[in-house]
């Protein structure tokens, strides 16, 4: 049995909150750089170049890449041979509190959706737990801005909708979102599960590196088709036109009920923030 101190978890989460909001992951940064080279729309190309400059400044000066430093979302894998000395949920929330306060990151959480009183420290976080084999604690942090979160969709399709039904749901979500999620976007898709599992896994898909290819040939075909169709919408960078509307589409499939075919689409802006640490 491996013992992990709650205080060590708090320290790790604190730094993850700061790093994720000030350093654009290599996969997103390199994808934007590559898009700069192929974007034919002059306005779109110029905007992509500005995004690279913005990311460079944020990293160098340790300031937020975007003013929306996101709702703190965590995916935690707890090894069966791990003992946490302290309360794990409290340790994570304390790390978020310290990270957002000490890092001068915008606090975006309200305690009640109707009275709108800010909690002043970006807590409580959204935390998803999975129990896995082993003696490690894996923490994935994905701060999610709501300009893109508000554009997400879920559809409970009948099985008869088939492959084309899934593609149409994703394309409809992207087209209706237009410029609102600050394109170029990363699109997370889950096909299967049930209502809440599909939504969760579509967000998990956003934590996969840009360039990830599904294992199954059918979803490889779908990914390629979606990339081509999304990037032919001419929404483009900033919604100002161009061929770079999506940097990538990540697809996860999951077993589902014989009577249904849930499809969830979680859209992320170009600031595709995600960071993982293992204790």
pLDDT at 246: 98
Distances (CA, A) of 201 to 190, 239, 242: 6, 27, 29
Distances (CA, A) of 54 to 43, 64, 69, 136, 145: 16, 10, 15, 35, 17
C-alpha span between 245 and 257 (Å, rounded): 33
Q: Cα Rg for the chain, rounded, in angstroms?
A: 19
Q: Are 150 and 68 in contact (CB under 8 A)?
A: no
pLDDT at 111: 98
| Helix segments in the chain, DSSP class H | 6-22, 26-38, 42-61, 88-102, 146-149, 162-177, 195-206, 217-230
Q: Are 65 and 55 in contact (CB under 8 A)?
A: yes
Residue whose structure tokens are 């915008």: 106
pLDDT at 60: 97
Residue whose structure tokens are 């935690």: 76
Q: Would you state the torsion angle of the CA atoms of residues 216, 232, 34, 49, taken in this order, to the nearest 10 degrees? A: -140
C-alpha span between 43 and 35 (Å, rounded): 13
Mean pLDDT over 181-204 rounds to 98
Cα four-point dihedral sign 39, 43, 46, 50: negative
DSSP code, position 161: G
Q: What is the pTM of this model?
A: 0.95
pLDDT at 213: 98
pLDDT at 11: 98
Band (pLDDT 50/70/90 cuts) for residue 100 is very high
User: Per the structure block, which two tokens stand in for 49?
Assistant: 């170049």
C-alpha span between 223 and 35 (Å, rounded): 18
Band (pLDDT 50/70/90 cuts) for residue 7 is very high
Question: H or E segment at 186?
Answer: strand 185-193
pLDDT at 198: 98
Band (pLDDT 50/70/90 cuts) for residue 276 is very high
- Please write the tens of the pLDDT for every residue from 194-219: 999 999 999 999 999 999 999 999 99
Count of CB atoms situated within 10 Å of the CB of 147 = 18
pLDDT at 88: 98
Mean pLDDT over 53-79 rounds to 97
pLDDT at 192: 98
Mean pLDDT over 232-250 rounds to 97
Q: Three-class SS of residue 127?
A: strand
- Please write the tens of the pLDDT for every residue from 221-231: 999 999 999 99
Q: Are 163 and 222 in contact (CB under 8 A)?
A: yes
Percent of the residues in the chain that have a pLDDT greater than 90, as a whole number: 100
Mean pLDDT over 233-256 rounds to 97
What does 78-117 look like in DSSP terms, one character per residue?
Answer: EETTEEEES-HHHHHHHHHHHHHHHTTPPP--BSSTTT--
Average of per-residue pLDDT values in the chain: 97
């Amino acid at each position: 049995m491996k013992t992990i101190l709650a205080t060590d978890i708090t320290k790790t989460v604190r730094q993850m909150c700061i790093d994720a909001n000030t350093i654009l992951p290599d996969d997103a940064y390199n994808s934007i750089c590559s898009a700069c080279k192929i974007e034919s729309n002059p306005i779109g190309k110029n905007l992509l170049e500005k995004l690279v400059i913005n990311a460079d400044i944020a990293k160098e000066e340790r300031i937020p890449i975007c003013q929306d430093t996101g709702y703190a979302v965590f995916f935690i894998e707890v090894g069966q041979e791990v003992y946490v000395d302290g309360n794990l949920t409290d340790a994570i929330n304390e790390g978020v509190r310290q990270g957002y306060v000490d890092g001068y990151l915008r606090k975006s959480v309200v305690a009640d959706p109707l009275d709108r009183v800010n909690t002043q420290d970006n807590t409580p976080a959204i935390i998803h737990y999975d129990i896995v084999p082993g003696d490690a604690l894996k923490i994935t942090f994905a701060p999610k801005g709501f300009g893109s979160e508000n554009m997400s969709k879920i559809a409970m399709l009948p099985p008869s909708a088939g492959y084309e039904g899934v593609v149409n749901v994703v394309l409809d979500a992207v087209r209706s979102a237009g410029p609102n999620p600050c394109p170029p976007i990363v699109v997370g898709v889950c096909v299967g599960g049930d209502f809440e599992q599909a939504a969760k896994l579509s967000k998990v898909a956003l934590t996969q590196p840009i360039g990830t290819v599904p294992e199954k040939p059918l979803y490889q075909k779908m990914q390629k088709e979606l990339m081509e169709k999304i990037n032919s919408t001419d929404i483009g960078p900033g919604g100002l036109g161009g061929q770079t509307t999506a940097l990538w589409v990540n697809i996860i499939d999951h077993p589902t009920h014989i009577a249904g075919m849930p499809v969830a689409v979680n859209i992320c802006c170009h600031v595709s923030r995600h960071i993982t640490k293992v204790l």
